[in-house]
Amino acid sequence: MEQGRIIILTGPPGTGKTTVASMIAQRSDLRKSVHLHTDDFYHYLCKGAIPPHIPGSEEQNLVVIEAFLEAAKRFARGGYDVIVDGIVGPWFLDPWKKAAQEKYEIHYFILRASKQETLRRAVTRAKLDRELNIKLVETMWEQFCHLGRYERHVLDATECSIEEVVLFVKQKIIEKSYLL
C-alpha cells in the first residue's frame, strides 16, 4: 500500500481553511482522503479542558496537536491523503518536522488575508461574544504575520476565490514546493 500525504492548511480564522480543506479532500488524486478538522479534537476534551486561546493552555494544546498528528500519520500510512485543517502555527511545528524526518510527506500552507478581510469573514460567524471574538481574531491574525522562514508557505487569500486557492494548493502539492 502506498503511503498518503499530509497537507496542513492553517492560518487565522476567516481565511477559508475549512472550505479549501474540504474541497482538496474531495478532489484528491489519491484513491482515499480524509479531512481532519483539528477543532474537533478540542471538543473531545471533557474534564479539565482549558479554552485553547487562554494563558495556561499551552501544555493541553501540545497534547491535542500531537493527538491529531498521530491520527494524521496513521491515515497517511493507510494510504489516505490527509488534509489537516486548523491552527498549526510555526510555534507548533516541531512534532510535524519530526514526522517529516520520519519520511512522511508533509505539505504546509498558511492561508492569510488582509486584517480587514479576515475580521469581516471571521467575526460574523463566531460563537463567542463579538468583542472577545474580535480580540481573538486580531491576535491570531498578528500571530500569522512576520513568519520569517515560513513566509514562503503563505498564500494571500485576500483577493482570491476559493476555487483559485484550491487550484493553487493542488498545484503546489504536485510540485512539492510547500513541503516541511
Cα distance between residue 164 and residue 64, in whole Å: 31
Q: Which pTM value belongs to this model?
A: 0.93
Q: Which residue has the higher pLDDT, 127 or 179?
A: 179
Whether the pLDDT of residue 125 is over 90: the answer is no
pLDDT tier at 1, thresholds 50, 70, 90: low
- Confidence at residue 136, expressed as pLDDT on a 0 to 100 scale: 86
- Confidence at residue 130, expressed as pLDDT on a 0 to 100 scale: 75
User: What are the DSSP E strand ranges found in the chain?
Assistant: 5-10, 32-37, 80-85, 105-112, 154-156
- Confidence at residue 65, expressed as pLDDT on a 0 to 100 scale: 93
Query: 16 with 111: CB under 8 angstroms?
Result: yes
Cell reading at 82: 490527509
CATH number of the structural domain 5-175? 3.40.50.300
CB contact set of 133 (below 8 Å; sequence gap of 6+): 122, 123, 126
pLDDT, tens digit, 9 for 90 and up, residues 127-154: 667 777 788 889 999 999 999 999 999 9
